[in-house]
Amino acid sequence: MDVERPPVGVVRPRAHGVKGRLAEAARRSPARLAVVVFVAVIAVFAALLSLPFATASGTRAPFVDAVFTAVSAVCVTGLTVVDTATYWSHFGEAVILLGIFVGGFGVLVLASLLGLLVSRHLGLTQRLVAANETKALRLGDVALLVRTVFLTSVTVSGVLTAVLLPRFLTAGESFGEALWHALFYGVSSFNNAGFVSHEGGLPQLGDGPVAGDWWLCGPLVVGVLLGSLGFPVVLVLRDRWRSPRRWGLHAQMTVTGVVALFVVGAVLVAAMEWRNPATLGALDGVDRLQAALFASAMTRSGGFSTVDVSEMSTATWLVQDALMFVGGGSASTAGGIRVTTLFVLLLAVVAEARGNRDAEVFGRRLPQSSLRLAVAVGLVGTTTVLVGTASLLALTDETLDVVLFEVISAFATVGLSVTDTGALGDGAKWVLSVLMLVGRTGTMTLAAALALRESSRLYRLPEERPIVG
């Protein structure tokens, strides 16, 4: 890869002003900038949730609970240590909703900015390819990027709110209450947050089970899937949805991967839970299918649930662990190592099994840098989960299957839980908070940092192939 460097003897001018310093910080250490920004935002929302009138009782929330909730909201995770609807006041719920919106908007902007930053460091050929993949934006036009992300987020959340509003009105809620719930779920679903504004979880608005309420569950699935595709892909689908061949490689890989995992996940969940009387077995045939589809979609990073996840079998937990660990698309509100990372790793395996020198898909050849980056992201993600799991096993009395589920849910910013997270203890809450922050900022900043560090060398060492496998 060609890297743009200043001519020998030429010194880059020192950045002046806040804008210049931010640009310089982003160029030198995007990972550090991302972490600093998110920590600062989390501190603000934790302070707001620590106010006495943020709770329904009027007493200050414990510091660890305020921080945990702020991290979960800003990192759009959805894990909770208290019941959102009953513990927090209307002010507290509004703070959480604002944290979700700011966090989701920040994730989209930051990931897109890092992508543009990387593309500006490419050589001419690679930059032209990147421009072709992101025709919806002019590379380097930060103001246009921010406006487009904001309008997209507001528009999608607004449409979801408009669709959900009549459902809550038909359930007998007042207009103000119905509007609040519709807005809360609209923002929470598109940002893949998983927070609910009803006591105990998603509400039963009719005589039938929540799993059979398509009017409520359908928009949530659509919102979660759209948010998990990623901002660049959403723009491509908006402008060229009738011409899949013109989507570009990233959009094709992301859509294919998300749809494939959605279908496979639903089939596996249905097969394992179909006769479980505590989950799908208690529902009618159509409702069982809808609940399986809903459960699969939520592992993209949505975090909502229509059945008791804690009553699912350990085999189903393991399937959900794998789906959550993969997560959604790059530059999206979803977490995990990302669908494209898994896609690239699978293509590398297929190419190696066939004896091909190159990994190819959709008429394109993947560069070796993408393969190395996918391996790095996957390995770092796996290591993070292992360290988090070991830490929680040492701090709690929970079994490995429960701890692994909680750790992956936090790292992948999903929000599903199979135990009472609030009862795990303060130490476990801090560990999960760090995992949520690392999961939100870690993979995308790691990818950008590694891409920016790639450089050209004037020599290559002799090649020698070790024994692998």
Would you state the pLDDT for residue 79?
A: 94
CB 441 within 8 A of CB 34: yes
Give the per-residue pLDDT at 267: 96
Q: What is residue 370's predicted lDDT score, i.e. its pLDDT?
A: 86
pLDDT the model gives residue 91: 96
pLDDT in tens, 63-113: 999 999 999 999 999 999 999 999 999 999 999 999 999 888 877 676 556
Predicted pLDDT of residue 196: 94
Digits of tens for pLDDT over the chain (469 positions)?
344 444 444 444 454 555 556 556 555 665 666 777 888 899 999 999 999 999 999 999 999 999 999 999 999 999 999 999 999 999 999 999 999 998 888 776 765 565 555 555 444 344 433 444 344 444 445 566 677 788 888 999 999 999 999 999 999 999 999 999 999 999 999 999 999 999 989 998 888 889 989 999 999 999 999 999 988 888 888 888 888 888 888 899 999 999 999 999 999 999 999 999 999 999 988 999 999 999 999 998 999 999 999 999 999 999 999 999 999 988 788 889 999 999 999 999 999 999 888 898 988 999 888 888 899 889 989 999 999 999 999 999 999 999 999 999 999 999 999 999 999 999 999 999 999 998 888 765 665 655 555 555 666 678 766 877 6
CA distance 159 to 213: 19
Predicted local confidence at residue 186, as pLDDT = 96
Please tell me the predicted confidence (pLDDT) of residue 228: 92
Q: List, as own/partner pairs, every contact residues 256-263 make where C-beta atoms lie below 8 angstroms and the sequence separation is at least 24, other chains included.
A: 256/343, 257/329, 257/339, 257/340, 257/342, 257/343, 258/225, 258/228, 258/229, 258/300, 258/328, 258/329, 258/339, 261/296, 261/300, 261/323, 261/326, 261/339, 262/225, 262/293, 262/296, 262/297, 262/300, 263/296
What are the sequence ranges of the domains in the chain? 17-453
The whole-number pLDDT of residue 448 equals: 60
Please report the pLDDT score of residue 117 as a whole number.
55
Whole-number Å distance between alpha carbons of 369 and 359: 12
- What is the C-alpha to C-alpha distance for residues 66 and 46, in angstroms, rounded to an integer? 5
Check residue 403 and give left, alpha or beta (phi > 0: left; psi -120 to 50: alpha). Answer: alpha
For 36, residues 6+ apart whose C-beta sits below 8 A from its C-beta are: none
What digits encode the pLDDT tens for the residues 165-203?
999 999 999 999 999 999 999 999 999 999 999 998 999
